Amino acid sequence: MTWRVPLSDVNLDSAEIDAVVAVMRSGWLTMGSITQAFEQEFAAFTGSKHALAVTNGTAALHLACLALDLGPGDEVILPSLTFVASANAIRYTGATPVFADIESTDWLCLSPEAVRAAITPQTKAIMVVHYAGYPCDMPTILEIARQHHLVVIEDAAHAVGAALEGKALGTWGDIGCFSFFGNKNLTTGEGGMLLTQDDQLAEKLQRLRSHGMTTLTWDRARGHASTYDVVALGYNYRIDDLRSALGRVQLQKIPAGNARRESAVRLYRELLAAQTPEVAIPFAQAHGQSSYHIMPVLLPEGSNKLRFIEAMKAHGIQVSWHYPPVHTFSIYQFSPFPRVEDLKITEEVSSREVTLPLYPTISDDQIAWVVQAVKESLFL
């Protein structure tokens, strides 16, 4: 159907088209100089020593788990309020996801206290998720990790351009992982990025990304190598220069795009508070700089969420649900079942959460339409 207000929209123009066409005309389409430039620019944007582009955010998470030597017998603590790829990437290595609760119905990120309670002798890593682009309590998480000799992976799929204490999200832990899916603040259609400050991890990630090979096709094409060895059981998680060209242009738009998202969120908060005070808006007491990736709200307790979503659809407004908790999916009901801690807050938030439309080109009038539709749909 054609939505009056879609959930998300891509911010593309002739600059992206020109960049992709230039790659096509160059005759070199796979990973090469444009990808290297994208990695360098993303590293500079985030203040990271190393950035490695990959095929998607799930691949980034998988490679992070592999590079940090997670495997059978290891436990990784993460929130259940996330996209299923976070947990799946852990299971790809044979390690076990351990779901811990979020902080509160206002701050929908992994609770440091819940992390402490979930640690066992088998715990090897913590995977934080910067939900909606708002920062987890990274200083406390890192202190817990230091005390227990754990590694930290940041799932920063929502968080391009977000920061805490002036430091970019994705650069706090051992490895940061980003997604460039079609609905993200920075999109390449499909794509992802890994960040690390560690030289050895960067080299390991680079090998694992491309079949465990010691040189790349691009190296050999430039005459920098004539052969290669295979030193690890790697994967084909390479991105191509077409998508990297798209990403370079998109990266330049992040400051303005995120600023518009922020102003849109402010307007949402103002209008919702005035017209539908029954609706709770998480992240009211914000700390750090968000990327404002999505606009989550919590319906009043006892609301019929599916009926509300259908009522919004009748108004021509697309809304969504971020997220059904991972531990409730059928695949996570089978043996071996991941260990689940007390997830009372996660389950309450998931039962009430609805995501409203948010993107850089949304107009103030469209936001007003959405809020009016929320008001009319709330008590049907």
Which sign does the torsion angle of CA 109, 113, 115, 117 carry?
A: negative
The gap from C-alpha 281 to its chain's centroid, in whole angstroms, comes to 20
DSSP 10-77: ----HHHHHHHHHHHHHT--SSSHHHHHHHHHHHHHHT-SEEEEES-HHHHHHHHHHHTT--TT-EEE
In sequence order, the 6+-apart residues with CB closer than 8 A to the CB of 177 are 57, 60, 61, 64, 153, 154, 155, 156, 157, 170, 192, 193, 194, 195
Half-sphere exposure at residue 327, Cβ-oriented, CA atoms within 13 angstroms: 22
pLDDT value of position 266: 98
Q: Tens digit of pLDDT for each residue in 191-227? A: 999 999 999 999 999 999 999 898 777 677 776 777 8
Helices (H) and strands (E) in the chain, counts: 12, 11
pLDDT digits (tens, 9 = 90+) for 242-269: 999 999 999 999 999 999 999 999 999 9
pLDDT of residue 214: 85
Instruction: Report CA Rg, the chain.
Output: 21
310 Cα distance to chain centroid: 27
CA nearest 321: which of 302, 305, 343, 300?
A: 305
Strand-pairing partners, residue 52, are 194
- Asked if residues 358 and 11 have their Cβ atoms less than 8 Å apart, the reply is no
Return all residues near 293 (Cβ < 8 A) that are at least 6 apart: 132, 133, 158, 159, 184, 185, 261, 358
Q: Quick one: pLDDT at residue 352? A: 98
Is residue 109 within 8 A of residue 129, CB to CB? The reply is yes
Catalytic, 124? Answer no
Answer whether 76's CB lies under 8 Å from 151's CB.
no
| Cα–Cα distance, 143 to 112 (Å, whole number) | 10
**Is the previous residue joined to 338 through a cis bond, with omega within 30 degrees of 0?**
no
> What confidence score (pLDDT) does residue 338 get?
60
Of the candidates 124, 184, 204, 253, the residue annotated as catalytic is 184
**Quick count: other Cβ atoms within 10 Å of Cβ 181?**
18
pLDDT in tens, the chain (380 residues): 899 999 999 999 999 999 999 999 999 999 999 999 999 999 999 999 999 999 999 999 999 999 999 999 999 999 999 999 999 999 999 999 999 999 999 999 999 999 999 999 999 999 999 999 999 999 999 999 999 999 999 999 999 999 999 999 999 999 999 999 999 999 999 999 999 999 999 999 999 999 989 877 767 777 677 788 999 999 999 999 999 999 999 999 999 999 999 999 999 999 999 999 999 999 998 789 999 999 999 999 999 999 999 999 999 999 999 999 999 999 998 756 666 668 999 999 999 999 999 999 999 999 999 999 999 999 76
Residue 100, strand partner residues: 79
State the pTM of this model. Answer: 0.96
Contact 31, 218 (CB under 8 A): yes
203 C-beta neighbours (distance < 10 Å), count: 13
Alpha-carbon gap, residue 213 to 227, rounded angstroms: 10
**Strand 353-356 relative to strand 295-298: parallel, antiparallel, unpaired?**
antiparallel
Residue 227 pLDDT: 84
- Show the domains of the chain with their CATH numbers: 14-251 (3.40.640.10), 254-377 (3.90.1150.10)
The token duo for 30 is: 């796979």
Nearest to 178 by CA among 163, 164, 162, 158: 158
Predicted local distance difference test score (pLDDT) of residue 313 = 98
pLDDT confidence of residue 285? 84
